[in-house]
């Protein structure tokens, strides 16, 4: 193991011990149940780890059924119910309390097609002389960590979506042991962008979150907003660039860091 990486890991272990003494925020779920991460037998693919000097908008890659790859575990949500919660049968316990847990597995990874729809394409002159918009993404495909939104409760839970994404971002621990966002969430400002899915009891949504590349090894976590409540994931480790801590100027009303 290279010396520099060993130093990073030793530093992270010391930081983790400090973090374990109580950095979870008031009003968040800190007593998590044991969750057995399933084996994700996805082809590794040729995806890249994202190497960025600035913050990117958060993205999730929800694994719906059927998927491109066969999952070797059960994926369950309420496929037999309409997305209008008024149509859920009275016999099914239902809750808006967001009794959900968020678990990130950084021991596995898989490759997905990169999504960066909020980056405007540059204009290109078409053959006919008119301007067209063609954009070549910086990545064709990227590596992501598997993440699981789990419903351990005895009630069906509503999960909010915005333009196909859950409202969440990744945060990382600074050298000063402070949690800071390394991503931002983008709201569209259109009411039609909001939707909901329902998560059955003892079931989970599986999705991917970006895996970053950099020279700073640190603790990370996911911050999620659902039904007005902040949900924090377990703490995991990974590499980023320190410049990802630099937040954007608040010149865009729809950029959001999911603050309390």
pLDDT digits over 19-31, tens only? Answer: 444 344 544 444 6
Banded pLDDT at 191 (limits 50, 70, 90): low
Q: Which CATH number fits domain 3-113+142-256: 1.20.1560.10, 3.40.50.620, 1.10.3720.10, 2.60.40.2360?
A: 2.60.40.2360
3-class state of residue 186 by DSSP? strand
Residue predicted with more confidence, 93 or 38? 38
pLDDT in tens, 244-260: 999 877 655 567 899 86
Q: Considering the chain, what percentage of its residues have pLDDT values greater than 90?
A: 33
- Per the CB < 8 A criterion, the answer to whether 67 and 113 are in contact is no
**Mean pLDDT value of segment 38-64:** 84
Looking at residue 259, what is its pLDDT?
81
Looking at residue 250, what is its pLDDT?
61
Residue predicted with more confidence, 251 or 112? 112
Tell me whether strands 131-133 and 56-57 are parallel, antiparallel or unpaired.
unpaired
**Mean pLDDT value of segment 89-110:** 79
Looking at residue 248, what is its pLDDT?
77
> Range with the lowest mean pLDDT among 78-87, 94-103, 146-155?
78-87
pTM for the complete prediction?
0.75
Class of residue 141 by CB neighbours under 10 A (exposed 0-12, middle 13-18, buried 19+): middle
**Mean pLDDT value of segment 78-100:** 55
Phi, psi of 143 (to 5 degrees): -90, 140
Average pLDDT, rounded, for the chain: 75
Looking at residue 240, what is its pLDDT?
97
């Amino acid at each position: 193991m290279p010396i520099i990486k060993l130093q990073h890991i030793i530093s992270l272990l010391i930081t983790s011990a400090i973090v374990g003494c109580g950095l979870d925020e008031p009003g968040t779920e800190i007593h998590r149940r044991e969750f057995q991460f399933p084996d994700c037998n996805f082809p590794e693919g040729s995806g890249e780890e994202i190497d960025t000097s600035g913050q990117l908008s958060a993205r999730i890659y929800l694994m719906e059924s059927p998927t491109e790859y066969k999952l070797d575990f059960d994926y369950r949500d309420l496929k037999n119910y309409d997305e209008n919660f008024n149509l859920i049968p009275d016999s099914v316990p239902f809750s808006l309390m967001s009794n959900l847990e968020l678990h990130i597995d950084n021991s596995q990874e898989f490759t997905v097609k990169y999504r960066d729809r909020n980056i405007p394409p540059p204009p290109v002159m078409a053959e006919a002389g008119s301007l067209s918009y063609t954009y070549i993404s910086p990545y064709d495909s990227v590596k992501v960590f598997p993440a699981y939104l789990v419903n351990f409760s005895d009630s069906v839970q509503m999960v909010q979506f915005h333009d196909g994404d859950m409202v969440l971002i990744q945060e990382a621990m600074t050298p000063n042991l402070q949690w800071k966002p390394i991503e931002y969430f983008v709201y569209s400002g259109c009411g039609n962008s909001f939707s909901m899915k329902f998560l059955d009891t003892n079931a989970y949504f599986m999705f991917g979150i970006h895996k970053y590349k950099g020279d700073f090894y640190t603790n990370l976590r996911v911050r999620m907003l659902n039904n007005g409540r902040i949900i924090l994931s377990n703490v995991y480790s990974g590499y980023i660039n320190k410049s990802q801590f630099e937040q954007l100027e608040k010149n865009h009303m729809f950029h959001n860091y999911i603050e309390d």
